[in-house]
């Protein structure tokens, strides 16, 4: 049959990076989206629905709260509501916007647990979602459950509440029964938890959960830079194929695709037989493995690895956005790739938004210049200087001094100098001590590092740009087009960080749109075979 539509639901949608990539594919149709936090939901509504939630008295038509402490007339309060305080659905102070059965094309602001409870109590709505509201069949449900405890930077806590969310994802899938499910998570999910002397592999347990509800789990370790994103962003992807759909697809699989699914099918069959298979029973395929990369390239997953060699650099992504120095034209990547993702789905905007420079003090600027030089010198020798910066060492080797003495440094009077005496250089470093562990300068000639979610994660690479990145620059690195506008607060801190999702974090948490498009095209390839 000819493929005409790609009907999908996005859970944990954030600001809409994945949806933007999917919407760039002809025939795509968002049946429903869900997001927990009102802050990225505000961005989603502004870009996809052209609904500005900051207009006084505005009542949105396509963004609906399942539960809130505040009425829709108090939209300003809703936009700053702590999602942890959303009332239970049967509580006395439960306020809801969902008064009918039509969620078609809507963004539902809700806790996924509440959303599952709601669907369980409203089978008519569940059936409508399963039928894509009359648009054929629900093709897939996608989502990236919050993953702090799976992250290598997190607590690695098996019992963390957020670790239950992949199972809530599976419950939602079980209710609406799409042809495919796509679960995205941080690469840390692949590393074992140690608890009570036992090793716990979250990705295997998630695969069991989807096998139990009838989906064959294909597990992948991808990297957004292989899909043309100017960021080194490895991610775990599980593509669950409903078993009856897999049986229809099986005769169409080529040798590479059959190898990709080999252990997945055996694992599924074992779970269905009532067994409890371990990690030795299931492979995940990694794009950095030469043999696996060949399997990707020769399969329906080819869109995910369109740029394994010619990777997009930071300079190609953001060099034209510099405030100082020589002005350059946007790169071919920006003009023909990133900005083309808008594809007529976003409102045309003439002004470049989210590109306000943050003020950095003189001391911080001097430290940023040092970071730039550390990046140029290389990690080995730079570690010695970083140890002095952190106060854990008092000196550096002669080899490190030789490398660092060749560069010019911004000093207190605003001029640049080279140090001729090692002790003078060490005194300079000691005047700029910091407790920050991860700050670094970007490398203009390479993709950006993955950890870009707060302003202080990285500073600019250019000699004349001693500053953190703007929201727009971070968005460029994530492959967002320039007319995608981020809304709500720019940043946050303190206790607010526990629940607020400001612009910088929205960008850092998003699925890069180019990766979203690649995943959508991969699913489209399979759908065209049915």
CB 389 within 8 A of CB 345: no
pLDDT at 261 over 90: yes
The tokens describing 274, both together, are: 């009532």
The pLDDT assigned to 250 comes to 98
Handedness of CA 30, 84, 508, 45 (dihedral sign): positive
> Is residue 320 classed exposed, middle or buried when 0-12, 13-18 and 19+ CB atoms within 10 A define those classes?
middle
CA triplet 282, 285, 291: central angle to 5 degrees? 125
The tokens describing 30, both together, are: 């968002």
Which 3 state secondary structure label does DSSP give 475? helix
Domain residue limits, the chain: 6-309+509-527, 362-469
Listed residue (62, 38, 36) closest to 50, CA to CA: 62
Give per-residue pLDDT as tens, 385-434: 999 999 999 999 999 999 999 999 999 999 999 999 999 999 999 999 98
Give per-residue pLDDT as tens, 477-526: 999 999 999 999 999 888 888 889 999 999 999 999 999 999 999 999 99
Rounded Cα distance, 457 and 521, in Å: 32
Average pLDDT taken over every residue of the chain:
91
Q: Which residues contact 174 (CB under 8 A, 6 or more apart)?
A: 213, 214
Task: Provide the 10 A C-beta neighbour count for residue 396.
Answer: 22
Give per-residue pLDDT as tens, 60-80: 999 999 999 999 999 999 999
Overall average pLDDT of the 354-367 stretch: 92
CA distances from 272 to 179, 180, 188 (A): 18, 18, 27
Q: Which residues contact 199 (CB under 8 A, 6 or more apart)?
A: 192, 193
**Domain spanning 6-309+509-527, CATH architecture:** 3-Layer(aba) Sandwich (3.40)
Q: Tally the C-alpha atoms within 13 A of residue 511's C-alpha that lie toward its C-beta.
A: 34
Overall average pLDDT of the 243-264 stretch: 98
Largest CA distance in the chain: 77
pTM (2 d.p.): 0.93
């Amino acid at each position: 049959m000819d493929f005409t539509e790609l009907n999908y639901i996005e859970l944990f949608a954030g600001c809409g990076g994945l949806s933007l990539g999917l919407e760039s594919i002809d025939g795509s149709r968002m049946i429903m989206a869900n997001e927990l936090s009102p802050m990225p939901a505000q961005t989603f509504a502004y870009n996809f629905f052209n609904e500005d939630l900051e207009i006084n008295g505005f009542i949105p038509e396509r963004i609906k709260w399942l539960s809130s402490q505040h009425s829709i007339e108090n939209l300003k309060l809703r936009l700053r509501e702590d999602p942890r305080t959303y009332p239970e659905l049967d509580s006395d102070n439960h306020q809801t916007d969902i008064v009918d059965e039509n969620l078609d094309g809507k963004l539902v602001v809700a806790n996924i647990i509440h959303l599952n409870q709601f669907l369980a109590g409203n089978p008519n709505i569940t059936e409508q979602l399963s039928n894509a509201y009359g648009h054929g069949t629900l093709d897939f449900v996608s989502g990236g459950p919050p993953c702090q405890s799976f992250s290598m930077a997190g607590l690695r806590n098996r019992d963390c509440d957020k670790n239950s969310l992949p199972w809530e994802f599976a419950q939602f899938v079980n209710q609406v029964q799409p042809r495919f499910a796509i679960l995205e998570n941080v690469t840390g999910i692949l590393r074992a938890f140690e608890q009570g002397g036992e090793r716990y592999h979250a990705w295997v347990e998630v695969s069991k959960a989807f096998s139990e509800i009838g989906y064959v789990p294909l597990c992948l370790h991808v990297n957004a830079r292989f899909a043309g994103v100017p960021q080194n962003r490895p991610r775990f992807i599980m593509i669950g194929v409903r078993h009856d759909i897999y049986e229809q697809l099986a005769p169409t699989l080529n040798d590479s695709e059959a190898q990709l699914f080999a252990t997945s099918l055996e694992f599924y069959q074992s779970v269905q037989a009532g067994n409890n298979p371990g990690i030795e029973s299931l492979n995940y395929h990694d794009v950095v493995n030469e043999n696996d990369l060949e399997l990707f390239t020769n399969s329906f997953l080819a869109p995910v690895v369109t740029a394994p060699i010619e990777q997009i650099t930071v300079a190609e992504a953001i060099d034209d956005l510099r405030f100082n120095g020589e002005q350059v034209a946007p790169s071919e990547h920006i003009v023909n790739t990133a900005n083309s993702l808008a594809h007529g789905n976003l409102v045309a905007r003439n002004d470049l938004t989210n590109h306000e420079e943050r003020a950095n003090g003189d001391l911080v600027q001097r430290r940023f210049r040092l970071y730039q030089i550390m990046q140029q010198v290389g990690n080995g020798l730079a570690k010695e200087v970083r140890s002095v910066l952190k106060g854990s060492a008092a000196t550096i080797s002669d080899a490190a001094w030789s490398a660092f003495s060749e560069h010019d440094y911004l000093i207190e009077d605003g001029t640049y100098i080279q140090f001729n005496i090692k002790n003078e250089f060490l005194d300079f470093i000691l005047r700029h001590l910091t407790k920050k562990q991860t700050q670094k300068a970007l490398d203009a000639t390479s993709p950006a590092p993955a950890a870009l979610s707060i302003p202080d994660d990285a500073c600019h690479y250019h000699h004349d740009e001693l500053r953190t990145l703007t929201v727009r620059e971070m968005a460029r690195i994530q492959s967002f087009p320039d007319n995608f506008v981020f809304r709500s607060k720019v940043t946050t801190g303190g206790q607010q960080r526990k629940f607020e999702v400001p612009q910088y974090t929205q960008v850092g948490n998003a699925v890069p749109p180019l990766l979203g498009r690649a995943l959508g095209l991969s699913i489209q390839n399979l759908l065209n075979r049915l």
